Structure 1
Amino acid sequence: MQDSGRRLLSLGPSRVDHIPALRIALGLALPLLALLLTGRLEWAMFAGFGAFTGIYSRYEPTRLRFRRQVTAGAMLTLCVTAGAALARLGESLSAPVESWMTLLVGSVVAGLAAAFVLARGLKPGGAVFPLFAVAAVASAPPAAPVWVAFAVAAGSASLCVGLGLLGHWAGERHPGADVRAAAETWTRGQLAAEFGAFALASGLAGVLGLASGLPFPYWAQIAAIALLSAPGRTLKVERGLHRVVGTALGVVTTAFLLSFPSEPWQLVVWVVVLQFLAEMYVLRNYAFALLFITPLALLMVQLAHPQPVGPLLEARVLETAIGAVAGIAVVLAGALRIRWAARRAAPDTGGSAEPTGAESGRPGAS
């Protein structure tokens, strides 16, 4: 408990964070500036999710980063396109059917993306960004034809890949960073376990979020799978608790930023600044970084599809808490299952049972 409190209140060592933070923020700023100048800020989510490509492969060698960012960019572009297609389809469905469809597809995407990211060795691990992309776009009113969503996301992702090629030249490297070129070999069972953990946590959180009557059930889904990216059960539970604390504080930041009238260009500036600050601190203190991640996500929603501020902030806190509870429940259930399997195997193996996928404490296990 003391260690958890210390990690909540302390910053980890700096790793030349300002260089990747600047690269990632620039990869978001340029597409948003283009949309602002062309009067198409309703496409901001397409560009923003494509720009998440830049978050992958921090500190890695140029060739490895290029390959992995191309892979991540293709994954995110596919998720944005799928979300846009779901939004179009949802126009012909009743609201409950549309909500359940988005929940189900989001859960499947979370599982598939987590297994894919694990198999390909992408960093950061997990499926927060793919789930966020497909669910947020699907939940918003259609802002453009599906091909436009694809083109904007792909263009934004391509820009970030290009900026990634310049990162090493600009000094984005760190001797202590994990730059292994070869991804670990995972068995089908381990990948299936990863899929199951993420799909289950996402689905459970989504059902609870939907049952709560709150407007954004996918926020609960994201909170549930975010904690699964931490290595080991203890740190997973800790990350869930830190996410609730950080989100609550981040909502205060958001309330301040939205407490006075803002022009669209001002929101764009805030989004870019918040992206930079989030990347500066996300590897050093997760809860502290949520002071910037939370308003970043909410301002992106406001750019593309403005919402009443009060209900928006309330829903963010409550759905994050719902998701954290669901995610922690899945982690604890997995621990009990492993213990039960170990007891059953004890007569033959001396009580050892190897956890796999998201249930493992290995750093590579998302």
Structure 2
Amino acid sequence: MRTVRAYARVRIAMTPPPGDHRAALRVALGLAVPGVVLLLAGRPDLIIYAVFGAATGMYGRAEPRRVRFTHQTQAAAILIVGVAIGVALAARQASTWILVIVAVLFAVAGSVVTDRLGLKPEGPFFGVFALGAVATVPAHRVSPGMAIFICAATALLCILLGATDAYRGPRPVPRIGRPAGREVSLHATRYAVAIAAVGTGGLFLGIDHANWAMAAAAGPLAAADTTGRIRRGIHRLVGTFIGLGVAAMLLIPHPNEYVLAICVMVLLFPTELFMTHHHAVALGFFTPLIMLMTDLADPAEPLALLTDRGVDTVIGVAAAVTVALMLPGGTRTASSS
């Protein structure tokens, strides 16, 4: 009987709603087009900037076309600003201390803005992640203007794809309302405390890739209540370590950089397909995507890279869960995606 129940749970987790395939295909296409252009130009190492532009397509997946256009445009602005700040930090070879301070400020501002705008996915995760990841890319890879252009052009393509594809799923649940002022402030405070804690702790512990720990701390805090934040933290741990196993199989053989770039494009489809259905499964695909695009932008020894990611995730999730328990509460909203 336990085996049957376990099989049923796995089957449910691995079976997203039929309507999600269309949204996932739209997001994947938003990355595939600029990705192929970069491959033809001989620059697969720059796909990291296109990935963050393609995150624009993840917003408003279950919203009417006009609302989706507005929200994706707003999300694109946040992502482009995050990439632009990250590029500026990389160009100036800013210290990790500066990165942590800027990331905290950006997370607070991003939390307030995304709550006020009612963006889905919730929270500033993608913007914070974009800022931190881009800030650690060696400045000599590409000019700041070109990096921002790649992100912005990809974001624009995703907005156009979203505008031409009407939502065909179940009727969206109407929004009950936006979070109250106190809830918005409390939500932003959670991000500030968690990201500042892991960033500062990472500096004192000498941990590489502090941006991963900060992103891992930001992810679970987007959930609507304390229980949801803890559950999402558990999902992030499980999904990340499954994804690290997949990434190891792809990175350790040291494949050609063009093969890695193609894998990045392919992995975005299942990432988006499962993102709202089962967070852990989505991260099983998103984690190797992150590892591959990071290795393309700044090659490193695979086992060291994978180990750093695992350690940073544990630290980030631990901080997020701790902050969720210290600062409980939820938002009184209903989402349409």
TM-based fold match above 0.5 = yes
User: 1:201 Cα deviation (Å)?
Assistant: 1.1
Alpha carbons 1:243, 1:286 under 8 Å: kept? yes
Paired residue type of 1:81:
A
Instruction: Determine whether 1:177 maps to 2:177.
Output: no
- Equivalent in the alignment of 1:347: none
- Equivalent in the alignment of 2:159: 161
- Equivalent in the alignment of 1:109: 106
Q: What is the aligned counterpart of 1:308 among 292, 301, 308?
A: 301
Equivalent residue runs for 1:72-221 within 5 Å: 72-90=75-93, 98-142=95-139, 143-168=141-166, 172-178=167-173, 180=175, 184-221=177-214
Instruction: Determine whether 1:53 maps to 2:48.
Output: no
Task: Output one character per residue of 1:6-34: Cα deviation in whole Å (capped at 9) or x when no partner.
Answer: 99854275141111111100101111111
Instruction: Determine whether 1:39 maps to 2:34.
Output: no
- Equivalent in the alignment of 2:3: none
Distance 1:320 1:363, change over 3 A: farther
Alpha carbons 2:177, 2:332 under 8 Å: kept? no
Paired residue type of 2:302:
V
Q: Distance in 2 between matches of 1:76 and 1:82?
A: 10
Instruction: Determine whether 1:330 maps to 2:323.
Output: yes
Gaps of 5+ in 1: 336-354
Alpha carbons 1:136, 1:218 under 8 Å: kept? yes
Q: How many residues align?
A: 329
Q: Distance in 2 between matches of 1:177 and 1:51?
A: 23
Instruction: Determine whether 1:257 maps to 2:244.
Output: no
Alpha carbons 1:223, 1:324 under 8 Å: kept? yes
The alignment partner of 1:215 has SS state of: coil
Distance 1:41 1:235, change over 3 A: same
User: 1:310 Cα deviation (Å)?
Assistant: 0.5
TM-score by length of 2: 0.91
Paired residue type of 1:135:
G
Q: Distance in 1 between matches of 2:244 and 2:9?
A: 17
Task: Output one character per residue of 1:150-190: Cα deviation in whole Å (capped at 9) or x when no partner.
Answer: 2111111101101111221xxx421153465xx93444333
Alpha carbons 1:233, 1:361 under 8 Å: kept? no
Alpha carbons 2:45, 2:257 under 8 Å: kept? no
Q: What is the aligned counterpart of 1:235 among 228, 231, 234?
A: 228
The alignment partner of 1:177 has SS state of: coil
Larger Rg: 1
Distance 1:305 1:321, change over 3 A: same
Q: Distance in 2 between matches of 1:179 and 1:158?
A: 27
Task: Output one character per residue of 1:46-92: Cα deviation in whole Å (capped at 9) or x when no partner.
Answer: 221111101111021111111111111111111111110111122xx
Q: Aligned residues: percent identity? A: 35
Paired residue type of 1:175:
P
- Equivalent in the alignment of 2:26: 23
Q: Distance in 1 between matches of 2:277 and 2:178?
A: 28
User: 1:291 Cα deviation (Å)?
Assistant: 1.1
Equivalent residue runs for 1:1-16 within 5 Å: 9=10, 10-11=12-13, 14-16=17-19
